[in-house]
Amino acid sequence: MLQVAYIREHKEAVIKGLQKKRLEDAEAMVEKALKLDEERRGCQKERDDALAEANQTNRQIGALMKEGKKDEAMAVRAKAGELKERSKTLADRVTELEEELKSLLYQIPNVPHESVPEGNGEDDNVVVYEKGEKPTLAEDAKAHWDLIDQYDIIDFELGNKVTGAGFPFYKGKGARLQRALVSFFLDEAVDNGYMEVQPPIVINEASGIGTGQLPDKEGQMYHIENHDFYLIPTAEVPITNMYRDVILEEKDLPQKVAGFTPCFRREAGNWGAHVRGLNRLHQFDKVELVRIEKPEDSYQVLDEMCAHVEGLLQKLELPYRKLLLCGGDISFNAALCYDMEVWSAGQGRWLEVSSVSNFENYQANRLKLRYRDGKQTRLLHTLNGSALALPRILAAILENNQTPEGIKIPKVLHKYTGFEIID
C-alpha cells in the first residue's frame, strides 16, 4: 500500500497517477486518507500530552502528602486520573483511526511509473517490439483444441466430469510435454541464480493482504471457508510472503526465488471462442520468478527479468512481442508492467504468456519488508514475472509446429520429453 507520508508530500502527483489507472474517485480517496491521518496525528499528540501531564501531576502527590496537604494531594490525584482516562479514550480513537486509514489505503492502488502510457484498456497497450518469424502454415492448419483431439493429449471432457470446466486432464505425450516445460523453465531459472522453492498452494488471509490479492481480488480466488484459506492465483503470493515481517541485511540482497505451482483462478466472465481450449483455465501450471531488490536497482532488474523471459521464448523458437501496459490495463499493485505475448499461428492471434512487474515498495509496505541501511531500515522493492505460464505456451507450440507428420517439439525440450514429435 502507499505510504501516507508519500501521499502527503506528493499529493497532486499521486492523484494524477491514480487517475491514469482510471480510479474515478482518486481525489476523494486521497483527501480522505490525508484527513484521517491528520486527525490521527492530532489525537496521538493530544494523547501523548495528556499522558505526560498525568505523569507529571502524579509526581506532585508524594510531595503534597509529605507536606500534610492531603486535600490538595487528593485533588491532584483525581486530576491525574482524569488525564489518564482521557489518554485512554484518545488511544482508543487513535486505534480506530489507524484501522480506518489502513482499510482505505488497501483500496488505493499503486501509483504507476511516469513512463506508463495513458489508456483505457488492452487496446491501448504499447507494442515495444516484435521478434521472431511467424510460421507459415498450410491452409488446413488447426487450432490447438483440434490438435489436442486429434492426438488425444489433453481431455477437457474428463476434467469437466471430475471437477468442472477449466480443469483439464493432460495425458500421455501431453502430460510429458507439460512436465518437460516445467523442468526446462526451472533449470533456466536456477542457472540464472534463482533459488528454487516448492511453496504451499494454499495461503491464509494475511498472505493475501501482504501481496495485494486481498481485498482487491477476493472474488477471483477460490476460498476454503472452513479454514479461511485461499487457493493461490500465482506462486508470487506464497514466495513473496516468505519475506513478510522480515528485515534483511544489505549483504543478503538481492533475493532471487523461483517456484513452480499450479495456479487457481475463478476467471468470472464470458467463455467464448477467444477463451476456448487452453486460452483460459481455472487451474494451470506456472513457473514464477520473484526478486527482492534495493530501490535504486529495481528498474534495471525489471529489464533483466524481461530479458530472461525473452530468452525462454527464443529457445522455444516462438515468435513473440513485448508490450508496455497502459494505465487502464496495468494491475492494481504494479507501478510498471510488461506483458510478453506469443504468436498463435492456428488461431492467428497473440496470446499473453507472461507479465513482468515492478511493484516498487507497494507490497513491501504491506509486508513490512525492509533492509538495514546503516542504523536505519528502508522499504525494499518487490518484482515478479511469469517464466512462464504453461497453457498458452503449450497452445502456441502445438499450433506453430504442426506438420503433416505430426507436431514437432522444440529442440531445447528434446532432452526433457524423450521424444521429438507428437504423432
pLDDT for 58 equals 67
The arithmetic mean of pLDDT across residues 371-396, rounded, is 96
Distance of alpha carbon 88 from alpha carbon 103, whole angstroms: 23
- Residue spans of beta strands (DSSP E) within 162-228: 169-170, 195-197, 202-204, 223-224
201 vs 217, more confident: 201
Shared domain for 257 and 333, answered yes or no, is: yes
Distance of alpha carbon 153 from alpha carbon 146, whole angstroms: 11
pLDDT for 85 equals 84
Shared domain for 39 and 136, answered yes or no, is: no
pLDDT above 90 (res 421):
yes
Shared domain for 158 and 80, answered yes or no, is: no
The mean predicted confidence, pLDDT, of the chain is 93
Last residue of a domain, one of 50, 73, 106: 106
pTM for the full predicted model: 0.92
CATH code where residue 82 lies? 1.10.287.40
Shared domain for 48 and 130, answered yes or no, is: no
114, part of any domain? no
112, part of any domain? no
CATH code where residue 347 lies? 3.30.930.10
What proportion of the chain, given as a percentage, has pLDDT over 70? 94
Last residue of a domain, one of 106, 138, 168: 106
Distance of alpha carbon 359 from alpha carbon 198, whole angstroms: 23
55, part of any domain? yes
Can you count the helices (H) and strands (E) in the chain?
13, 19
pLDDT above 80 (res 69):
no
Task: Compute and round to an integer the Cα radius of gyration of the chain.
Answer: 28
Can you give the residue range of the structural domain that contains 25?
4-106
Distance of alpha carbon 384 from alpha carbon 390, whole angstroms: 16
All three cell numbers of 47, joined, read 494523547
> What is the tally of structural domains in the chain?
2
Residue 54 CA from chain centroid, whole number: 47
pLDDT for 57 equals 73
Shared domain for 82 and 175, answered yes or no, is: no
Question: Confidence band (pLDDT; 50, 70, 90) for 52?
Answer: confident
| Pairing mode, strands 169-170 and 283-293 | unpaired
Cell 514464477 locates to 288
111, part of any domain? no
Nearest C-alpha neighbor of 332 from the set 6, 23, 7, 3? 23
Distance of alpha carbon 7 from alpha carbon 37, whole angstroms: 11
257, part of any domain? yes
The arithmetic mean of pLDDT across residues 95-109, rounded, is 96
Question: Confidence band (pLDDT; 50, 70, 90) for 408?
Answer: very high
Burial label, 394 (beta-carbon count in 10 A; 0-12, 13-18, 19+): buried
Shared domain for 66 and 16, answered yes or no, is: yes
Shared domain for 145 and 258, answered yes or no, is: yes
Shared domain for 73 and 222, answered yes or no, is: no
Shared domain for 203 and 231, answered yes or no, is: yes
pLDDT above 70 (res 38):
yes
The arithmetic mean of pLDDT across residues 268-274, rounded, is 53
Shared domain for 273 and 246, answered yes or no, is: yes
Shared domain for 356 and 260, answered yes or no, is: yes
All three cell numbers of 195, joined, read 533459488
Last residue of a domain, one of 106, 134, 158: 106
The count of C-alpha atoms lying within 13 angstroms of the C-alpha of 287, restricted to the half-sphere facing its C-beta, is 26
DSSP structure class, residue 420 = S
pLDDT above 90 (res 63):
no
Report the 10 Å Cβ neighbour count for 123. Answer: 9
274 vs 83, more confident: 83
Shared domain for 236 and 280, answered yes or no, is: yes
Question: Confidence band (pLDDT; 50, 70, 90) for 215?
Answer: confident
Distances in Å between the Cα of 152 and the Cα atoms of 144, 146, 327, 391, 397 are: 11, 10, 42, 16, 16
pLDDT above 70 (res 125):
yes
